[in-house]
């Protein structure tokens, strides 16, 4: 489906007519604009009405796309498809003894597409690493949070700068390449990962 986007700058919107009363839809969408390279992808639209289920602890176990598995401490550990529509994915998560997410794996149609580990300074994430070769995928620089300290308010408003190694689409195309992206209002740059309570697994 080819639709000219309407909006401002790199932001746009367009309404599409989708028939999802009988089943979920894996809707093809093409973003095309004069003088720009067209980008084609898909959007998942759940069946309507979308049904939701919960366990005794109030955790969501099923929706229109996913089945969710939680551990005894109510942490999400597994997501699998709840429909045959769209790519068949398996997503798993692991946590350390503090409850921090340390590992994420994504497989699509039985092929692994993402495998990352997470590095922390206390509760502040400082890097994502390729779990295969430990190369840095993405790193974070933190400054003072709302408490005026590094982690007194849990890092809220602490992220100062985010170094993007890559923005990759599902098809492996580079879609953005800004070396630095401002995401917060903190102060004080951190120029290395050799401090505090670092943990890699």
Q: What percent of the chain has pLDDT over 90?
A: 50
Average pLDDT of 66-82?
A: 96
pLDDT at 45 over 80: yes
164 pLDDT more than 80: no
Tokens 């580079």 belong to 174
- For the whole prediction, is pTM greater than 0.75? no
Q: What would the pLDDT profile of 94-127 be if each residue is shown by its tens digit?
A: 999 999 999 999 999 889 999 999 999 888 888 9
199 — pLDDT class (breaks 50, 70, 90): very low
**Nearest 10 degrees: CA dihedral of 71, 75, 80, 81?**
130
Give the angle subtended at the CA of 161 by the CAs of 128 and 125, to the nearest 5°: 35
Residues 199, 135: Cα–Cα separation, whole Å: 15
Mean pLDDT of the chain: 77
Has residue 167 got a pLDDT over 60? no
Paired sense of beta strands 6-8 and 11-13, if any: antiparallel
- Confidence (pLDDT) at 30: 87
Position 12 pLDDT exceeds 50: yes
Give Cα separations from 81 to 51, 107, 112, 141 (angstroms): 14, 11, 15, 35
pLDDT category at 163 given cuts 50, 70, 90 is very low
pLDDT of residue 147: 77
> How buried is 2 (Cβ within 10 angstroms: 0-12 exposed, 13-18 middle, 19+ buried)?
exposed
Planar angle of CA 32, 38, 43, nearest 5 degrees: 80
Predicted confidence at residue 31, as pLDDT, reads: 81
- Look at residues 93, 117, 99, 136 and name the one whose alpha carbon lies nearest to residue 200: 117
Question: Average of pLDDT values for 130-144?
Answer: 88
Q: Does pLDDT of 151 surpass 70?
A: yes
Cβ 62 vs Cβ 69: under 8 Å: no
Domain boundaries, the chain: 87-199
Contact 82, 67 (CB under 8 A): yes
CB atoms within 10 A of CB 160: 19
Q: Is the pLDDT of residue 196 over 60?
A: no
């Amino acid at each position: 489906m080819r639709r000219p986007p309407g909006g401002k700058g790199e932001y746009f919107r367009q309404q599409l007519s989708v028939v999802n009363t009988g089943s979920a839809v894996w809707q093809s969408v093409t973003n095309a604009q004069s003088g720009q390279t067209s980008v084609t992808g898909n959007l998942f639209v759940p069946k309507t009405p979308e049904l939701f289920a919960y366990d005794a602890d109030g955790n969501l176990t099923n929706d229109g796309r996913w089945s969710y598995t939680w551990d005894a401490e109510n942490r999400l550990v597994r997501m699998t498809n709840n429909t045959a529509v769209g790519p068949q994915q398996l997503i798993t998560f692991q946590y350390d003894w503090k409850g921090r997410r340390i590992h994420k794996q994504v497989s699509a149609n039985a092929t692994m597409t993402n495998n990352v580990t997470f590095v922390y300074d206390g509760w502040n994430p400082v890097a994502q690493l390729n779990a295969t070769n430990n190369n840095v995928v993405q790193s974070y620089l933190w400054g003072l949070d709302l408490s005026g300290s590094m982690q007194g308010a849990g890092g809220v408003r602490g992220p100062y700068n985010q170094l993007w190694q890559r923005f990759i689409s599902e098809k492996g195309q580079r879609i953005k390449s800004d070396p630095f992206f401002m995401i917060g209002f903190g102060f004080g740059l951190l120029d290395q990962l050799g401090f505090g309570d670092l943990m890699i697994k």
